[in-house]
Amino acid sequence: MTGTDATVDLPVFFVFLVCALFLVMWAGPQRGTVTEFYVSDGLLKPAHNGVALFGDVMSAAALLGSPGLIALTGYDGTLSVLGPAVSWIVILLLVAERYHSTTEFTIGDRLARRLRSRPVHLAAGAATLVVCLLYLIAQLVGASALTVGILGSAGRGMEGAVSAGLGALMVLYIVLGGMRAATLVQTVKAVLLVAGGVALAVLILARFDFDPGALLSSAVKGSGHGDDFLSPGLRFGGGSTGLDSLSEQLALLIGAAGLPHLLMRISTVPTPSDARRSVQYAALLTVVFYLAAVVLGFGAAALVGTQVIAGDSPSGNTAVLLLAADIGGSLLLTAVACLAFATVLAVVAGVTLAAATSLAHDIYGAFLTRGTASGQRELVVARASAVAVGTIATLLAVFARGLNVSFLIGLAFAVAASAIVPALLYGMYWKNFTTRGATWSIYGGLLTSVALVGLSPQVSGSATALLPHLDFAVFPLRNPGLVAIPAGFLLGWLGSVLPGSAGRADAAMSAYMDPEGHEAAAGTAVRPRA
């Protein structure tokens, strides 16, 4: 697309980033303890935490990727918003209250409550890092799309520099601010995102006299696909359309319950009932925004045209930017781009904090030092871990910048659903779950999902693949969830029921269930709730 006037846009971005940095410094930790740094002492209000929780979910995929997929593939693209919206039901009914009442900071803490600490902390830490890196890469790829969208062809040479700059900023935010700063940035971003998304949707509907039928008819004409635009098949194609769609929806539906940064935020309120209320607030905001996202996607197809969008970005990541430029010119484009950058910065802050916490608390604190490290030492390691995670994610994002951010988010959800959710649910609801079952489930689900993606059309064998000139795509589905998720649950069950020393060693540590379904403390201690 043709870039806007960089002499106007770049100063706006600079002022925006400086203001965000001052917010972080203002809201940074006051006492310098690990509990404050990780979870804000667990004292956030449910409404405040719910808004921030919504902000954690609404990533670059929500603002850029999902509308882009809808603009390119019509009906198939709308499915990308269904899973994340419905996933709150899983979190609300199965996870929120029980997880809050039986964990300290991380997924590893939850599992170690009943199981042997070192193996499950290491396994949970490894899975957390993979999920967080995938999520971070998606955000930085979205930032690259923003750069090109704002600066046009001149921005293509700056994609790597922008990703590196955002990576450095997210590290700085976490090192200086911890959870308090991440919450503040998420709250501001969430309010702006809902307001901006709804406002842009209203502007689109106004073009069609608030007639959804007219919008869809125009989108069909602008797509170049005719009536097929509103039918299944454009995105996946071939005979595996239904399975591909089912696999992605399954990953999105289940995977949210295993996203480390969401689970970490559940621990930032005082009581389990507050955690439940936080999820309810987040679910309501998610539904509102995704309704707007559907309008944005069809509006982009109608007003900009699918072929124009595909020509500018084959993955569709710039569809919303093209739409903003068409509706409101340079001013609206700049406003939407600032909103998108706010989305990227806020999400990467939360995800980086979750990854750094897992490295410092699970791998360093529980596994390497066997719980003997002091809080101050762990805090130093957490800040150093943020630097390491940010650097790695930035480097990997350079190689993945041609991929649709919704695919990357879908992959992160698939890994979480395969490697984390089975162990988490077994650990909370099955008293005979063992350490061996946990490690088999986590490592097995992780390896299965990553291996299947490596052999999928997303990596090779197609023009839009990560390696388009190679073809080793022997697994037909683009998302591994349909196979990897059952594999994770099966391995967790097998590891627990097969005879062996692991099951006997866990017998003495197993928690029991009281008549109300709550667990008695049996493993590592859980910090008291205010």
Q: Which two tokens stand for residue 6?
A: 């960089």
pLDDT the model gives residue 312? 80
Please name the residue that has the structure tokens 């029921």: 497
Phi, psi angle pair for 186, to nearest 5°: -65, -40
Residue-averaged pLDDT of the chain: 81
d(CA 87, CA 391): 31
Mark out the alpha helices in 358-404 (DSSP H runs): 375-399
Work out the angle at residue 117's Cα, subtended by the Cα atoms of residues 111 and 123, and round it to the nearest 5 degrees: 65
Q: Would you say the C-alpha torsion 25, 29, 34, 39 has a positive or negative sign?
A: negative
Work out the angle at residue 266's Cα, subtended by the Cα atoms of residues 39 and 356, and round it to the nearest 5 degrees: 45
Three-class SS state of 480: coil
d(CA 507, CA 436): 12
pLDDT of 462 over the 80 cut: no
Q: What is the largest CA-CA distance in the chain?
A: 69
pLDDT the model gives residue 87? 87
Three-class SS state of 460: strand
pLDDT the model gives residue 25? 64
Q: What is the dihedral of CA 62, 16, 38, 425, to 10 degrees?
A: 0
Tens-digit pLDDT profile for residues 489-519: 999 999 999 887 554 445 445 444 433 344 4
End-to-end CA distance of the chain: 53
| Alpha carbon separation from 21 to 53, 164, 187 (Å, rounded) | 21, 16, 15
Mark out the alpha helices in 6-157 (DSSP H runs): 6-26, 34-39, 46-57, 60, 66-73, 75-90, 96-101, 107-112, 117-151
Q: How confident is the model at residue 528 (pLDDT cuts 50, 70, 90)?
A: very low
Tens-digit pLDDT profile for residues 97-117: 999 987 778 999 999 988 999
In this structure, which amino acid lies at residue 458? Q
Write 365-369 long-range contacts (CB < 8 A, 24+). 366/108, 366/112, 366/117, 366/118, 366/121, 366/122, 367/118, 367/121, 367/122, 367/125
d(CA 111, CA 423): 8
pLDDT of 159 over the 90 cut: no
d(CA 445, CA 439): 10
Nearest to 144 by CA among 328, 344, 409: 344
pTM of the model: 0.82
Please name the residue that has the structure tokens 């699970």: 362
Would you say 457 and 479 are in contact if contact means Cβ atoms under 8 Å apart?
no
d(CA 416, CA 439): 14
pLDDT of 472 over the 80 cut: yes
